[in-house]
Amino acid sequence: MVRMSVGIGPSAAGAPRRHDRAGAAGRLGVSTGRSDPGEDALTETVESGASPALEALRSVAADERVRAVEAAVREACAELRWNEALRRRWREARAEAAIRGAVASGGAEGAVVSAEVLREHVAAGSLTEAATGDPGLDAVAGLWRAGTRLVGWMPDLVGRGRPVVPPARSLLAVLHRDVVGPLAAGGRVGLEEVGVPRAGWVRAREGGPGTAPQGEELEARLAGLVGLLEAEPAPALVRAAIVHAEMLSARPFTAGNAAVGRLLVRHLLVRDGVEPTGTAVCDLYPGRVPAAYAEAAGAYASGTMEGVVAWVVWQAEAVLVGVQEAQRLCRAVQAGTWRAG
């Protein structure tokens, strides 16, 4: 059975959510609009001329636990950058990472397809249609299309090529069309839901931590998400983690939010220079430890600084696992054996 995407748990089963603006949502400029004593800190930030969202990201980044995991991530990514396989075969490595990422992300959503099967279809050029008659393959193929699109937006690893990346709202829409297109082709979501964020009182089809916002709160959360994607400069690892968490908790689309959130992590880490190779398979960890994924997302949705930090630490762990997979991938590419992996 394919869940594409039903998120990481029942919509009402996340950790208790505390709507305070001193917590996760308010600090990041995607608050519910409720007023409480935590608003004083935000008022001071605004009056100082700084962006509340950026100040919030920097506050999270300053936490000792976040600084420690960020240092570990940067060290691992720096080591990956100089892998011998990436000197000449970085294009092959990125293409293989897109395949492994799609398989891993599909597995996290309940669509189980082997990397070998996906490689065969890619090599045969048989994935030109959104529906092949195999729902699991269709779901993973959609994720692969999205991952391949991200590869096309990555700067050259060797050289000066730097493709133009679409603005945030277009980026969200395009990735969502790739991911959810197969669902629409199979009649599991409406065509009008593909690439179009929820609005008003339209409910999310999938579950996640806490209750998905609606109405004005939904509009504010979506605007905050767009702002986070476009803000610069910003702490890169924290930004990627929070964007992922907002996709899970705000659920701006009716379906496919978790998968798009994971794709955005890869995009942002490359764009912001944390993991420039584009080969880290950060989708692997969520499928391996789904309970920890749900727990960390629930911590974020609780609306506390501790919860935000716990989520960022979890995201860093996912990146480190992804880098380890990239090292294995690079060894296979260098040996010419990756197609059999």
> pLDDT tier at 54 (50, 70, 90 boundaries)?
confident
Least confident piece of the model among 8-12, 47-51, 315-319: 8-12
- What token pair was written down for 69? 């995991």
CA neighbours closer than 13 Å in the CB half-sphere of residue 292: 13
CA distance 248 to 158: 34
Q: Grade residue 48 by pLDDT with cuts at 50, 70 and 90.
A: very low
CA–CA gap between residue 319 and residue 284 (Å, rounded): 9
Give per-residue pLDDT as tens, 234-282.
999 999 999 999 999 999 999 999 999 999 999 999 999 999 999 999 9
CA distance 149 to 221: 26
Q: How far is the CA of 75 from the CAs of 82, 187, 210, 288, in angstroms?
A: 11, 45, 34, 23
Mean pLDDT in residue range 93-105: 97
Q: Can you tell me the mean pLDDT for 32-58?
A: 51
Band of residue 308 on the pLDDT scale cut at 50, 70, 90:
very high
Instruction: Give the pLDDT confidence score for residue 158 in this predicted structure.
Output: 84
Rounded Cα distance between 123 and 189, Å, is: 29
Average pLDDT over residues 85-109: 95
Token reading at 263: 């794709």
Residue given tokens 């991200």 in the structure block = 150
Of 59, 81, 63, 62, which is closest to residue 270 (Cα–Cα)? 81
Distance CA 329, CA 174 (A): 27
What domains, with CATH codes, occur in the chain? 24-29+52-335 (1.10.3290.10)
* Radius of gyration of the chain measured on its C-alpha atoms: 19
CA distance 58 to 172: 24
Question: How many Å apart are CA 50 and CA 231, to the nearest integer?
Answer: 12
